Chains A and B, each alone.
Chain A
Amino acid sequence: MAEKLALMRDAYGETLVELGRRNNNIVVLDADLSPSTKTSLFAKEFPERFFDVGVAEANMISIAAGLASVGKIAFASTFAVFGVEKGLNQFKQSVAYPNLNVKLVTTHGGISVGEDGSSHFCIEDLAVMRSLPNVTVIVPADAVETRVATRAIAEHFGPVFMRLSRPKTPLVYDDGYRFMGKELKFEIGKSITLREGRDVTILATGLMVAESLLAVQELAKEGIDAGVINFHTIKPIDREAILRAATSTGALVTAEEHNVIGGLGGAVAEVLVEENPVPMVRVGIQDTYAESGPWRELFAKYGLTSSDIVKAVKKVLKRRGR
């Protein structure tokens, strides 16, 4: 069966328009990347509520803070590397610290940016944003989840960081946020168990959710029954789900398109170490800078494919003792 692909960015832009129609207080900012982030869709329908500040991310984030302090729900978008790093102190001081209603939604997270290369990659956003008090961190797994996540963060009061991807990516969910025929509910902080497994649990986020589902099929051929949990929320992390998986399978693998330091793997390890230190292995970028290239090839070179997850599962099972 050919995989279905879709752009998270389209889903984001279209959902912003839908939200904008329902709520006059939604305003959107961008830093000269609206055709890419798809905030251009909102700009077209609501030009008076859209502010393109030019290539000035720090200014964008503080302006968003000002708008929010007067009661607006401010969505600010650019690429992850620019939004997180060029406006970090602004986000911390003028948004996170005073707990203002700003949603920093960045596209082009991770290395799936591809050909643009390392200057445009962001493999540290989750670690950075996760360490800021008051900030909720969301990473949808596909375009369908992006739609429900965008609605959810608009409803949620407070600062949010959400990471989206550049390329068309495999759809994990069917329209209407359904998985294997079952309609799901998106709740911030509540992970989604896509598959229960007896032997091992894969905890994945973002594009690695689809890779994890592929890994499950490969593992099944070798008689390994793996479960998959989608952690669309990195913070607050779903502690209960982690501990349930630790108890039921006793071996965990985390998978993320992020440095292995400080992201989902870090968050899961923190919970395990304090509560139930079962063996775990982290799949992610091994603390290195990647390079230009087609994103699928980059995933293969930098250890982010289903076969890397398979290897990690075997490693963790060996450690647990099978």
Chain B
Amino acid sequence: MTPFDQKTAPHDERLIKKLSEIALTIRRNSLIMTTKAASGHPGGSLSCADILAAIYFHQLRYDPENPNWGGRDRFILSKGHAAPAFYAALAIAGFFPTEELWKLRKLGSMLQGHPDMRKTPGVDASTGTLGQGLSIGVGMALAFRLDGKDNRVYVLLGDGELDEGQVWEAAMSAAHYKIDNLTAIVDYNRQQLSGCTEKIMNLEPIVDKWKAFGWHVIQIDGHDMKQILDALDEAEKIKGKPTVILAYTIKGKGVPMLEKLFLAGDCKYHGTPLTETELARALEELYG
């Protein structure tokens, strides 16, 4: 199957199994990368791995042999600190060799601490300072519409990122311009850098907020591959307004020792990598 027609595959068990295996590899590599780099953000990389697998290995049109292909869809990692998971997905997609992953955050590496469209093939927006990705996506969506092209734009946001006022400026403008060639996905893992979102800055009622801003809202379990795939399809069918997928996720997903810490409100592994010893145990848990 060429990368261009992967979307035609039915959402059957075979596809779900394939995507789940890819998500597992994304998680594994995210953990190894950050430990090797001795820095980076493991927690939020694990929570969005399933979403990235669905987007990159079913939904998105792209050509790894020709990263600047004009017909490609655009993906923006607005929560740029989840770069490890993003890079892991790009490596599997064939934009660069897997060995590059082990140079994450090292001097001279194509893999910067946060996504860089000028250094990394397959990256279409430079992010890392939160709150800007949705606006950039609105600009891309407007450009495609002006040109009469059917490219779609996907923007993955963090939940802590929704504290940024600019996200809501962008949300208002996307609805105002009746943008329907853009899908926003919120990785709602309920944890931000310094604690749970409820405590730091409550986002609820989040569904009402997006609806009030004029968006079609789909709520899913962000680790249920079938739900992710169905939601991405549904979003494409909604016309005349933008769609946001609120993906309820678990920070540190796949590694019980991390999940437990986050659930207990300990956010250390938001931005701290595992030690070599912790990594060995985490990988066992991941595959266990």
Q: Please give the residue numbers on chain A whose beta carbons come within 8 Å of chain B beta carbons, in ascending order.
A: 27, 48-49, 51, 53-54, 56, 58-59, 61-72, 74, 89-90, 93-94, 97-99
Q: Is chain A's interface secondary structure helix, strand, loop, or mixed overall?
A: helix
Contact residues in A for B170 (Cβ distance below 8 Å): 59, 62-63
A67:B126 contact, CB within 8 angstroms: no
Please, could you name 27 A-B residue pairs with CB atoms under 8 Å apart, sorted by A?
Answer: A48-B146, A51-B177, A53-B169, A53-B173, A54-B176, A56-B172, A58-B132, A58-B165, A59-B135, A62-B135, A62-B166, A63-B135, A63-B170, A66-B135, A67-B139, A69-B136, A70-B74, A70-B144, A72-B143, A72-B146, A90-B132, A93-B128, A93-B129, A93-B132, A94-B135, A94-B136, A98-B125
A69 to chain B minimum Cβ distance, whole angstroms, is 6
Contact residues in A for B126 (Cβ distance below 8 Å): 93-94, 97-98
Measured CB to CB, the nearest residue on chain A to B145 is A48
B142:A66 contact, CB within 8 angstroms: yes
Contact residues in A for B165 (Cβ distance below 8 Å): 58
Q: Interface residues of B toward A: which range?
A: 20 to 34
B128:A66 contact, CB within 8 angstroms: no
Confirm or deny: B138 has a beta carbon within 8 angstroms of a beta carbon on chain A.
Answer: yes
Which residues, 100 to 153 on B, are CB-close (under 8 Å) to A? 116-118, 124-129, 131-132, 135-144, 146-147
Measured CB to CB, the nearest residue on chain A to B135 is A62
Measured CB to CB, the nearest residue on chain B to A65 is B136
Contact of A69 among B116, B117, B146 (CB under 8 A): B117
B117:A98 contact, CB within 8 angstroms: yes
B138:A66 contact, CB within 8 angstroms: yes
Contact residues in A for B139 (Cβ distance below 8 Å): 62-70, 74
Contact residues in B for A98 (Cβ distance below 8 Å): 116-118, 125-126
A59:B169 contact, CB within 8 angstroms: yes
A94:B132 contact, CB within 8 angstroms: yes
Q: Is chain B's interface secondary structure helix, strand, loop, or mixed overall?
A: helix
B173:A59 contact, CB within 8 angstroms: yes
A71:B143 contact, CB within 8 angstroms: yes
Measured CB to CB, the nearest residue on chain B to A90 is B132
Question: What's the Cα separation between A63 and B117 when bound, in Å?
Answer: 16
Measured CB to CB, the nearest residue on chain B to A96 is B126
Question: What's the Cα separation between A72 and B141 when bound, in Å?
Answer: 12
Contact of A49 among B74, B146, B176 (CB under 8 A): B146
Measured CB to CB, the nearest residue on chain A to B170 is A59
Contact of A70 among B116, B140, B172 (CB under 8 A): B140
Give me 13 other A-B pairs in contact (C-beta within 8 A), A54-B173, A65-B139 excluded.
Answer: A51-B177, A53-B173, A54-B176, A56-B173, A58-B166, A63-B135, A65-B135, A66-B136, A66-B139, A69-B125, A70-B147, A72-B146, A90-B132
A58:B146 contact, CB within 8 angstroms: no
Contact residues in B for A99 (Cβ distance below 8 Å): 118
Contact residues in A for B144 (Cβ distance below 8 Å): 70
Contact residues in A for B125 (Cβ distance below 8 Å): 65-66, 69, 94, 98
B166:A70 contact, CB within 8 angstroms: no
B96 to chain A minimum Cβ distance, whole angstroms, is 18
Minimum-distance CB pairs A-B, first 10: A66-B139, A62-B135, A70-B143, A59-B169, A63-B139, A66-B136, A56-B169, A66-B140, A67-B139, A98-B126
Which residues, 53 to 96 on B, are CB-close (under 8 Å) to A? 74
Question: What's the Cα separation between A54 and B83 when bound, in Å?
Answer: 32
Contact residues in B for A51 (Cβ distance below 8 Å): 142, 177
Contact residues in B for A70 (Cβ distance below 8 Å): 74, 139-140, 143-144, 147
Question: What's the Cα separation between A268 and B126 when bound, in Å?
Answer: 33
Measured CB to CB, the nearest residue on chain B to A48 is B146
Which residues, 259 to 279 on B, are CB-close (under 8 Å) to A? none
In the complex, which of the residues A54, A63, A65, A72 has the most CB atoms of chain B within 10 Å of its own CB atom?
A63
A63:B142 contact, CB within 8 angstroms: yes
Contact residues in B for A61 (Cβ distance below 8 Å): 135
Given A98-B126, A99-B118; A54-B142 close (CB under 8 Å): no
A69:B128 contact, CB within 8 angstroms: no
Measured CB to CB, the nearest residue on chain A to B141 is A66
B34 to chain A minimum Cβ distance, whole angstroms, is 22
Contact residues in A for B138 (Cβ distance below 8 Å): 59, 63, 66
Contact residues in A for B127 (Cβ distance below 8 Å): 93-94
Question: What's the Cα separation between A69 and B137 when bound, in Å?
Answer: 10
Contact residues in B for A63 (Cβ distance below 8 Å): 135-136, 138-139, 142, 170, 173
Contact residues in A for B173 (Cβ distance below 8 Å): 53-54, 56, 59, 63
Question: What's the Cα separation between A318 and B118 when bound, in Å?
Answer: 51
Contact residues in A for B128 (Cβ distance below 8 Å): 93
Question: What's the Cα separation between A93 and B124 when bound, in Å?
Answer: 13
